[in-house]
Structure formats: C-alpha cells, structure tokens
A and B are shown apart, each in its own frame.
Chain A
Amino acid sequence: MGRTIASITQTWQEEEAALNRFKRALRKDDQVLLDELLVLSRLHLAEASYASNLYPLDMYLIAILLEVYKQLKTIQHEFYNPEQHKDQARLEEEEVFLKLITNYLETSGEQPQEDTTEAQEEDLPVVEIEDERSYADFEEAP
C-alpha cells in the first residue's frame, strides 16, 4: 500500500530546506555552524520518528540541544579530569594516511621522497601545467 506519511528523513530534509533562506542571509561562518547544528539533529532521527510528533522540528531542536549539552558535559569532564583524557588524543587523518604510505613504500622497495619542491624551484624554470588531471565527480552511483 506504500507509505502515506513522509519518512522521518524526508521531513528532516523538508525542514532543512525550509531554513535555506535563513541560512543564505547568515554570515558564512554562521552558515557553517548552522550546518553543524543540523547534523546534530540527524543523530536522533529514529527517536524523532518514534515520537511521531505533529511538528517534527520540535524533535530536531531538542535533539540539537541534547547533543550540544552532551558536548558541553564532555568538555566539562575533560576540563576537570585532564589526566583521564591524555591517551585519547588520536592521530590526525593525514598522519594516519601518511604512515600507511610510508610503510607501503618501504616494504615495496621504493623510498618515500622528501618534499623537495622548494629546492627545485630555485634551479628549474616554473612550468605551467596546462592539463592538470582533474576528476569530475562520478556521474552516478553505479
């Protein structure tokens, strides 16, 4: 028989679209923050669906409050218990990746090259790369 009522994800998208004009008028920095807040509301879609509220935006706002409060509590906890959080520092994404590459190059017999761009620039003429390889985003999900 199909669904009559829009799914919770669809209502979320509708609410997000309804904020478009508001978002457009915001300063760029604030737009980014608004986006982040909206992401927080998506973390509780299942709960919002279960609530079956006539005005789902209420649920999204409460979800945002909940997540912001959670972050606040975490920061508070870290602030008052700094020792407990020492080990949680994680490698940055780029570092993790670079480590993988380095190990790969070492095991495959190739040597990782240091960034010698600056040194070369002094000796070599600058060549404009005309046909920089670029990848247009994939046309469709196959």
Chain B
Amino acid sequence: MSQTHTFTGWLLDLYLNQEEGLSLWFISADDDSRVCFRQRFPVSFYVAGPNETLRALWKRISGHPDVLSLSRQRKQDVFEDQLVDVMQIEMESPASQVKLFHDIEQIYPDLTYYDADLTINTRYMARYAVFPLALCQLEVDGNDVIQSIQALNDRWELFPELPPLRVLQVTPDADPTRSSVQSLLVHSDRFELRLALDPQGSYLQTFDQLLSDYNPDILATDWGDSWLIPFLLKDSEAKGIPLQLNRDTSRPVRWQKETSYFSYGHIIYRPEEAHLFGRCHIDRKSAMMWSDYSLPGTLEMARVTTMPIEKAARVSPGQGISAMQVITGLEKDVLVPYQKRQFEEFKTGLQLIQSDRGGMVYQPLTGLHTDVAQIDFVSMYPAVIILGNISPEVPLPDGLTPAHHDLGVVPLTLKPLYEKRVAIKQKLRTYPENHPMVATLKERAQALKWLLVVCFGFLGYKNARYGHIEAHEAVTRGGREVLLRAKDVAEEEGYEVLHMYVDALWVKKKDCNKPEHFTELIKKINHRTGLTINLDGVYRWVAFLPSKVDPRIPVANRYFGVFQSGEIKVRGLEARRRDTPLWIASVQKEMIRLLGQARTKNELEDCIQEAFNHYQQALQTLKAGMVLPEQLVINGKVSYALEAYKASTASVRAARQMQAAGMPVKPGMRVRFVYTRGEPDVVAWDLGSKVEPGNLDSDKYVELLIRAACSVLSPFGVSVDILREWSLSDGLQLHLPATFIMT
C-alpha cells in the first residue's frame, strides 16, 4: 500500500462515485486549497420475513458480484419490543446497494426491508459522525483514497470553526420572466463586474475564466434553476464555447425534476433544480427559506441535518428533521424500516372527538389594550415532546408525565436541537443589537426554529418514517394542558388574560407595565408547567381585531401593537400577506408606524390623526393614478391544474393568459397580475406586456386600500362602511352634523 498522509479540512460536498464508492470535496485548513478524495464505502441493508423466502433470496443473490457478504443477525426494529431475525446484505458500494435493493424488492415485495433507502449523507454521518462543513482529519493514501476520517467538531457546537467559503453571486440585470436580460452582475468578496450578454459569447469565456480563477465554493444565483444555468449551458453549446460549472470536471450538471406537492394546506411548486458537483449551487429564488434565514441559516441547516448544502437550501425543513431522526435511529443501532408499518389505532367516536384536537386558540377580547405583556413558551411543542418523551415507539404520556424512562427517537433527536437553539437565543441576549454576530446568530436560530416547528407536524404525517397520529395528538394534548396551567397561574396572580394562542398568553394587571413586573409570574408558570416561558415584551398598546365579515366576532390571529422598545408587531393584517400589493402593504405599514410613535394613550390621539392623514394622502395618490403598476401587482396562486377550476378567479384568469402565451403553469405556482379596466379585467404580469397606470382598475385598488386602512383604524372607532362611503365619494360632500363642526 502506498504511503498515507494526514489532511485537515472541512467537508464541502459528498456524492456517489460509480468506481470507488464516494467522492468527497474538502476545503483545506492548511493552504485553503480545494481537494477531492475518494473513499470505498461498503454499505449494508437488512431483510426480514419468512425463513423460506429469505432462503430463496439468499440463493438468488449469493453469487452477485457486488455482494460482499450475507449473514444472519438479530437486530432491534424501532417499533418492536423484541429483537428481530434479519438477513444482513453487505454491498460493495452505495450505488450497487440501491440497484440490488430495487431489483429484489420487485421480486420479493412482501419482505420487510430495513436501512434500504437511506441517503448517502445519512449513512456517512451515522458511520463517521461527519457532516457538511465538519472540520475533519483524514488519513489519505497516495491515490487520494481516504483510509480513515474523523470529525474534529460536532453538529451541536455553538461557535464551530467554519471554512472561509468563497461565494460567487450571479444575478441577471432584469427579471428574466418579464423582460430580456442584457447582462449578468457577478459579485464576490474580491470583485464585482457586469458581463454584457454579447452575441459573440465572449461573456462565456470571461465567466468560465472567473470560475476557474476564483474557484467558488458556492454559486449563489437568482433564477439559476429556472433561467440562468439553462441559458448559460444552451448558449455555451450553441456558440461552442466551453463552460465548466462543476468543480468535478468529469461530470455534467445534474438536473432534478420539477415537482408540485401539498404541504401544510398549500400546494407548493418546486422548479427543476441544477445541482453541481464539487461546489454548491443555490438559486435564491427557489431556496424555500432563503428570505427567512439566508446563507448562515442554510449552512446551519446543512450541518445539523447532514443534508447536502444544495439540498438544505431548497427543501422544506421537514426533510431535514426526517434525516435527523434516521440518524438518531442508526446511532441507537436500531433498524430503520423502509416502509412504515404503524397504523392509526382503533378509537371510539368519543375518543376521536377528544383526541383529534389542535392547540388552544382563544377568542381575544377585541379592541385596544394598554400595558399588555406577551409571554411565550420557548418552542412549546418540541419541549412537550422532550418533557413527555413522546415518540411513536414508546408508551405515550398521560398529560405531561412521561410513561417511559429512555428517550425515544423523536425526543432524542429534538433535545440537542432544542438546547442549541435556546443556547443561541441566550447568547443573542448578551450581544448589543449592532454586534456583528447578531444577524448570523438570528438566522441560525431561525433555521433551528423551523426544524423544531416541523418536527411536531411530521409526527402527524402519515408518510413520515416516525409519524404516528397518537403521538401527534399527545403533543397537542400536552400543549393544551400547559397553556391552561399557565392561565390558572396568571389568574391566581390577579392578571387578566386577554388572549391565548397555542403557546402564547397576553396578560395585563393594574400597575404592571415594566418587564420586571412580570418576572414572578413567569417564574411561577415555569414551575407549574415544567416548561420555559419567556417574556416576549410589554406592549405600550395592542389592538386585537374582529372578523372582517362580522365585527362582533373576535379573530384569534389578527392583531397589531407596539412594544415598549418601539418594535411593532403585526399579525394577520394585509401587510403580512404575500398577495397584498407592495404599495398597499407599505401604506398600511406606514400607518401602523405612525400609530407606533405614541408612547402614551394621550399621544395616541395625535398619532391616529397622522395615520388617518397618511391614508388620505395615499387615497388621493391612488385616485390620481400616480402609483406605478409594478407596485400594485397582486401575487396570486393557482393550487390546481387550470382545467380543474370551475370558477374563474382573478388568479386563474391571469394564469390562463400565461398558458395561452405558451408559459407553463403548474399547481402551486405564483401568478402575478394587475387589475385593469374593461376586458380583460386582469393582466398577467409575467406576460411582460406594458400596463399604463391609467388602465388600472383603480376601484379595485381603492377597495384594497380601504380594507387595509380599516384594519388599522377600526380599533380606534372607524368602521369600514363609514370609511368606504367617505373614500368612494369625492371627499367633501359628507353630511357633517353641525354640532360636530362647532367643536
């Protein structure tokens, strides 16, 4: 064997390699070079079933060239009390394992398969505790084949040593779905330049040279999946100018098919994805959570879930938590079933009525309230899962008291995640707001928050490997119990409970208007529930809004208010909705900002006037046709195939225009449009046709503005009917009672 040497570096990318097993790309900790090593990686999967069928399978595959060994083992199935007899099939490489498994599954569909469909990252993590961006020490032979590897840090480190990543950002100078792109803006920490898309293709040569010289680890694009990379590759081929996007030059770009899927009540569309080898491509426009947690959050997600960075950027956090649960199972040396075999237990009608319940959602006391404290449980459902040891394979708790000592797979997965998030949040409190670490830590905490949030949802997801509806119900049951205990404590302490929403309470008490006034209450709730509850803040004032349909009915999640810090909190209003036109949202936000300037109840009156004045000015601007059409674009959505629609909504009419123009429309896609006068009454924005401000249907937008303004003004006594009557009239003909004018 050739001589080995030691290498220290961060793992960047890992993928299957037909010859040796795996290819692994590292960033050297010594000289900043990017190095590719290979590694043999035999893997095993397991099969259980009747002896005669297993014997037949044994005979069939025993001579297979890629089968290294066959043996009988006794292993733990996560859902069984006793060990089970299984046949272990050890394969030469992950690629051969996938192939053999699919072959034998066709022939023996009734056998039970374990560890059969695990991703390569999951297997690698489980075996070597190595994950994306882990700092590793390797022994490598003269042929660049890894002989041994160990991680020098773990997934739960708060401040891990991270590699100096080279990020190249590439952005078209215009939205390619609307207009023709003239140039690409290329940006890195070292340079910034504009590449004009010249017909000769010299920009391709320059870009290729840039990739070669700068050698980025991450290619961060806008519309990279849907437009940029397909365009570059096509142009490169047409002009015969080579362009090497991959670091691994032996590979072409890998395309992952487009897909539409249903998630949390919405149809989500994911376009085709361009994946690179040896470096990562992140299309910020199709990175699902980019706006929430950006690159630091994405890297945190990749580290803790062990998913490849490209995948962590694009997929929902649910896939991440699923991968983590599999790793926990493998680390516990339990078998991971290929197909779920847990079914919902039989329940009587009454049991079903009692168990099929969500979180506690109260009806708030509508109107304006001052000096209100909002207290939130820290990651309540994950905390309930951990506290109650709620996992599909262990007995479920009655209330919050665990029925089993050893933590199950789900709480075992969540515990370090929960603790890491709490630790980051605590660290954040020690930094001033302008500290350079604050933004990064917030984004990392946000990524962890999403993982914790979806973990509860996945417990109730029938296709999740560790999904079990009874466990899901046990979590909501625990949540309700916790919230009611908190309410009991608050009322015992003399607080008025204005509202409760799943994991948060809004309380007030005479003369309590400073954070320290609520410390004792928080301590008592912590003690009574066993969970951590924090003061989110004390509102100067908060307004709980009623239903738009019936103002007598309170709505749980429609409120806005201003904390003592001046921070404004808005939930359920138009400004928070994705489909609200930017301009309408900005008017509403400004009205709330103006109201937020009031420090006392007396100041509020002046601020209401200012907010109202702002509305009036906005109304006049809108009526005068002075708002740009792009500011009035409505961001609609089609949830089904267009043929399935019986009623033609505005979104559907716009989508049909796009389809007629040859643009593909898939369920879950966003459809942007503007309302116009006459026929057609909507124009799909992405058609690219110019819409003059005069052609906009101002009546529709005035109505949207009225509704947005009324959401803000209604707690102060302005009803939508009066506001509409005034706004639709020319303003000065309102019948003003003489008595009022006299005052």
* Residue ranges of A at the interface with B (Cβ–Cβ < 8 Å): 1, 3-5, 7, 36, 39, 42-46, 49-50, 52-54, 90-91, 93-105, 107-108, 110, 112-115, 117, 133, 135, 138-140, 142
Q: Is the CB of B737 within 8 A of A98?
A: yes
Q: Is the CB of B352 within 8 A of A101?
A: no
Q: Chain A residue with minimal CB distance to B553?
A: A42
Tell me the minimal C-beta distance from B231 to chain A in angstroms: 32
Q: Is the CB of B703 within 8 A of A49?
A: no
Q: Is the CB of B703 within 8 A of A138?
A: yes
10 closest cross-chain pairs (CB), A and B: A96-B717, A5-B356, A52-B354, A100-B612, A46-B362, A39-B552, A115-B735, A1-B462, A142-B634, A1-B469
In chain B between 634 and 650, which residues have their CB closer than 8 angstroms to a CB of chain A?
634, 636, 649-650
Q: Is the CB of A107 within 8 A of B357?
A: no
Measured between beta carbons, the chain B residues less than 8 angstroms from A114 are: 736, 738, 741
List 7 A-B pairs, Cβ < 8 Å. Answer: A46-B362, A49-B357, A98-B740, A103-B612, A104-B616, A105-B732, A114-B741
Measured between beta carbons, the chain A residues less than 8 angstroms from B707 are: 138
13 more A-B residue pairs beyond the given contacts A5-B357, A97-B717, A115-B736, with a C-beta to C-beta distance below 8 A: A1-B462, A7-B358, A46-B362, A53-B353, A91-B717, A93-B718, A97-B723, A101-B736, A104-B609, A104-B613, A135-B724, A142-B634, A142-B636
- Identify the interface centre among A3, A4, A36: most chain B CB within 10 Å of its CB: A4
A117 and B719 CA atoms in complex are apart in Å by 25
In chain B between 701 and 743, which residues have their CB closer than 8 angstroms to a CB of chain A?
703-704, 707, 716-719, 722-724, 726, 728, 732-738, 740-741
Measured between beta carbons, the chain B residues less than 8 angstroms from A46 are: 360-363, 500
Specify which of A93, A95, A105 is in contact with B740 (CB 8 Å cutoff): A95
Specify which of B360, B649, B699 is in contact with A135 (CB 8 Å cutoff): B699
A78 and B354 CA atoms in complex are apart in Å by 41
Q: Chain B residue with minimal CB distance to A139?
A: B650
| In the complex with contacts A1-B460, A5-B353, A142-B634, A93-B722 CB distance below 8 A | yes
Q: Taking the complex as formed, is B139 at the interface, i.e. its CB lies under 8 A from any CB of chain A? A: no
| In the complex with contacts A46-B362, A114-B738, A93-B717 CB distance below 8 A | yes
In chain B between 563 and 582, which residues have their CB closer than 8 angstroms to a CB of chain A?
579-580
Measured between beta carbons, the chain A residues less than 8 angstroms from B553 are: 39, 42-43
Q: Chain B residue with minimal CB distance to A40?
A: B552
Measured between beta carbons, the chain A residues less than 8 angstroms from B461 are: 1
Q: Chain B residue with minimal CB distance to A11?
A: B353
Q: Taking the complex as formed, is B472 at the interface, i.e. its CB lies under 8 A from any CB of chain A? A: yes
Q: Is the CB of A108 within 8 A of B613?
A: yes
Q: Is the CB of A142 within 8 A of B580?
A: yes
Q: Chain B residue with minimal CB distance to A49?
A: B357
Tell me the minimal C-beta distance from A98 to chain B in angstroms: 5
Measured between beta carbons, the chain A residues less than 8 angstroms from B444 are: none
Measured between beta carbons, the chain B residues less than 8 angstroms from A110 are: 732
Measured between beta carbons, the chain B residues less than 8 angstroms from A117 are: 735
Tell me the minimal C-beta distance from B212 to chain A in angstroms: 48
A113 and B728 CA atoms in complex are apart in Å by 17
Tell me the minimal C-beta distance from A102 to chain B in angstroms: 7
Q: Is the CB of B363 within 8 A of A52?
A: no
Measured between beta carbons, the chain B residues less than 8 angstroms from A107 are: 613
A142 and B580 CA atoms in complex are apart in Å by 7
Q: Taking the complex as formed, is B31 at the interface, i.e. its CB lies under 8 A from any CB of chain A? A: no
Q: Is the CB of B609 within 8 A of A90?
A: no
Q: Is the CB of B356 within 8 A of A94?
A: no
Specify which of B360, B550, B716 is in contact with A50 (CB 8 Å cutoff): B360
Q: Chain B residue with minimal CB distance to A103?
A: B609
A138 and B356 CA atoms in complex are apart in Å by 36
A107 and B616 CA atoms in complex are apart in Å by 12
Q: Chain A residue with minimal CB distance to B649?
A: A140
Q: Is the CB of A39 within 8 A of B550?
A: yes
Q: Taking the complex as formed, is B238 at the interface, i.e. its CB lies under 8 A from any CB of chain A? A: no
Q: Is the CB of A43 within 8 A of B363?
A: yes
Q: Chain A residue with minimal CB distance to B724?
A: A135
Tell me the minimal C-beta distance from B703 to chain A in angstroms: 5
Q: Taking the complex as formed, is B127 at the interface, i.e. its CB lies under 8 A from any CB of chain A? A: no
Measured between beta carbons, the chain A residues less than 8 angstroms from B719 are: 93, 97
- Identify the interface centre among B350, B353, B608: most chain A CB within 10 Å of its CB: B353
| In the complex with contacts A1-B462, A39-B552, A98-B740, A52-B718 CB distance below 8 A | no
Tell me the minimal C-beta distance from A40 to chain B in angstroms: 9
| In the complex with contacts A1-B461, A46-B361, A102-B740, A142-B717 CB distance below 8 A | no
In chain B between 320 and 361, which residues have their CB closer than 8 angstroms to a CB of chain A?
344, 349-350, 352-354, 356-358, 360-361
Measured between beta carbons, the chain A residues less than 8 angstroms from B296 are: none
Measured between beta carbons, the chain A residues less than 8 angstroms from B704 are: 138, 142
Q: Chain A residue with minimal CB distance to B460?
A: A1
1/0 per residue B593-633: CB within 8 Å of A? Answer: 00000000000000011001100100000000000000000
Specify which of A49, A90, A96, A140 is in contact with B650 (CB 8 Å cutoff): A140
Q: Is the CB of A42 within 8 A of B650?
A: no
Q: Chain A residue with minimal CB distance to B484?
A: A50
Q: Chain A residue with minimal CB distance to B500?
A: A46
A44 and B361 CA atoms in complex are apart in Å by 10
Measured between beta carbons, the chain A residues less than 8 angstroms from B634 are: 142
Q: Is the CB of B741 within 8 A of A100?
A: no
Q: Is the CB of B609 within 8 A of A115?
A: no
Tell me the minimal C-beta distance from A94 to chain B in angstroms: 6
Tell me the minimal C-beta distance from B650 to chain A in angstroms: 7
Q: Taking the complex as formed, is B279 at the interface, i.e. its CB lies under 8 A from any CB of chain A? A: no
A142 and B358 CA atoms in complex are apart in Å by 27
Q: Chain A residue with minimal CB distance to B719?
A: A93
A95 and B738 CA atoms in complex are apart in Å by 12
Q: Taking the complex as formed, is B540 at the interface, i.e. its CB lies under 8 A from any CB of chain A? A: no
A50 and B703 CA atoms in complex are apart in Å by 38
A59 and B344 CA atoms in complex are apart in Å by 29
Q: Is the CB of A97 within 8 A of B726?
A: yes
